[in-house]
Chain A
Amino acid sequence: MGSRLLNKIGLFFGALVLVSPAILFFLWMISLSLKFEIDNGAYPPILIPERFAWSNYAKVFEENNFLLYMWNSVLVTGTATLLALLIGVPAGYGIARLKAERSAIVIMIARMTPGLSYLIPLFLLFQWLGILGTLWPQIIIHLVVTVPIVVWVMIGYFETTPMELEEAANIDGASSWQVFRLVALPIAKPGIVVAFILSIIFSWNNFVFGVVLASRETRTLPVAVYNMLSYEQVSWGPLAAAALVVTLPVLVLTMFAQRQIVAGLTAGAVKGG
């Protein structure tokens, strides 16, 4: 009994050591964002300053058009995710039921393809169409990120849902569409939630598409925060505050949906890999 308790304490400290780089990083990030320039340049470094520089956050929104860029991010990520769910959930179902390994390979190839190789032709196409000044190029190209995620997660989920109910509905004369709508879809709701969350996170975080396709008016948040680097004379406080603003929504989402993300990634999503 005693050794078991000791074992648990050992595991706890092992886990603590492994988690510490993550905890220390985010603590330091918060610390940087709340310090004035003098404190950020101090040696030895200060973790908790005497005066908090809340003005760093005000500065981010006042000087860098961050509200507009945040709205752009919401529109691009939101639209790309909803479109991906609309076409990706049925596709995942179809592929799982067809056991169409080839279609799954197409999705895998989409994952293998470097984002930049989509960018050259699509950049030229969007330029030719004259829509480079709008958000549409980014919404369309974000489908490259969101559709494979949704299809992948859903294949994993539909493969694990039992076939018996669907077969029964089939015998009763339901059409394929009805079976999908009324039998398969309700069972797969947890899978859809996982696909939705992961799609949002990875689309929100995407940088490479924006850096090529976005103009001054259509920047998303990751591009905006990167651009600050060239404008500000590397003043750390506001830069760290901006970085935190960009990544806070996904971190909060991760925190609240931790259970689904972990369950989804460990059980359904990975299985298909």
Chain B
Amino acid sequence: MSAIAPERAGVTTQAIEGSQPVRLAPNYWPFVVPALVVVGAVIVFPWAFTLWMSVNSWTLGQSRSFAGMENYLRLASDPRFWESLWHTLTYTFLSVVAPMFFGTVAALIFDARFPLRGLLRGLFVMPMMATPVAVALVWTMMFHPQLGVLNYLLSLVGIPAQEWIFNPNTVIPSLVAVETWQWTPLVMLIVLGGLASVPREPFESAEIDGANAWQQFRYLTLPMIAPFLMIAVIIRTIDALKSFDIIYAMTQGGPGTASETINIYLYNTAFSYYDMGYGSAMAVVFFIVIVALSFILLMLRQRSQWIDAEGK
């Protein structure tokens, strides 16, 4: 009996060791390939085509000719393009900062327990799910200088009527207000996810040590949710840079070109003037701007994660 036992044990160990290389390598690539094919067809092919077209001069209905870097040089000396880039950056900056602030505050509130929390949170999420074009049309009516409800509300508290999206000076902040109204919930959800992953214990000991609410937030909560805040900033930046529906439906870049972002100018170039070559060059530069900004933010995120890991 005692002689058999070790032998058996030996056999079992051997069997496991023998079969290890075989079962350690399940092949997962077949799962990914169909998606890669589709992504290639719908995403990579258009990119190759766009790059090729950006070095051609081609207005739809006319003949195409090779143009080299001409489109890019034209872009560099196009004041309307530089203006639209400036609009894009302003719009994006405001559309990241405002939702980040309100979204974080909302997340801190919704992380606590209070009556009707579920219902209020559900209502809070509504705007981000609503169809942007439909929302934009209703906002346009609300912004109406004479008949709009917003100027009426302002008059109740004694503020003079504004021209909102109909004035070049206020059009971008007005659009940002709509963007903020719609996308604050996404920030809230991301930060709420971060708060859910925060452990309880440090707060209990901080409480015992006599830290007040602000100190707890500043030195415990904030560092722990920093990676989530970074994710929210990155997603918000990408989405704000690409924003199209709200701007196009409400102002189409107007009045004049006061709210024309790169995306709107790109649309007009390609699908109003049908200047496909120039539009493609613009698409390439626009994409580089988005990738560059995202990349910078991703690097920051990596760093914030490191700090987070070291902190633990």
For window 68-113 of chain A, which residues contact chain B by CB distance below 8 Å?
Answer: 86-88, 90-91, 93-95, 97-98, 100, 103, 106-113
Contact A250 B130 (CB under 8 A): yes
- State which of A41, A180, A208, A225 has its C-beta within 8 Å of the C-beta of B31: A180
Q: In the assembly, what is the distance between CA of A176 and CA of B121, in Å?
A: 40
For B48, the closest partner residue in chain A by CB is A121
Q: Which residues of A contact B105 (CB under 8 A)?
A: 18
Interface extent on B, as a size class?
A: 35 or more
Contact B234 A247 (CB under 8 A): no
Contact A207 B152 (CB under 8 A): no
- State which of B135, B190, B283 has its C-beta within 8 Å of the C-beta of A120: B283
Q: Which residues of B contact A11 (CB under 8 A)?
A: 109, 112, 114
Contact B42 A94 (CB under 8 A): no
Q: Quick one: given A14-B109, A94-B29, A140-B42, are A147 and B141 in contact (CB under 8 Å)?
A: no
Name B's A-contacting residues (CB within 8 A). Answer: 19, 23, 26-32, 34-36, 38-39, 42-43, 45-47, 49-50, 53, 102, 105-106, 109-110, 112-118, 120-127, 129-135, 137-138, 141-142, 146-147, 149, 152, 181, 186, 189-190, 192-193, 196, 228, 231, 234-235, 238, 241-242, 244-245, 248-249, 263, 266-267, 270-271, 276, 279-280, 283-284, 286-287, 290-291, 294
Q: Which residues of A contact B36 (CB under 8 A)?
A: 91, 103, 106
Q: Which residues of A contact B42 (CB under 8 A)?
A: 118, 122, 140-141, 143-144, 147
- State which of A14, A107, A180, A205 has its C-beta within 8 Å of the C-beta of B131: A205
Contact B152 A43 (CB under 8 A): yes
Q: In the assembly, what is the distance between CA of A201 and CA of B127, in Å?
A: 12
Q: In the assembly, what is the distance between CA of A244 and CA of B138, in Å?
A: 9
Name A's B-contacting residues (CB within 8 A). Answer: 8-9, 11-12, 14-16, 18-19, 21-23, 25-26, 28-29, 32, 40-41, 43-45, 86-88, 90-91, 93-95, 97-98, 100, 103, 106-125, 140-141, 143-144, 147, 151, 170-171, 176-177, 179-180, 201, 204-205, 207-208, 211-212, 221-223, 225-226, 229, 236, 239-240, 242-244, 246-247, 250-251, 253-255, 258, 261-262, 265-267, 270-271, 273
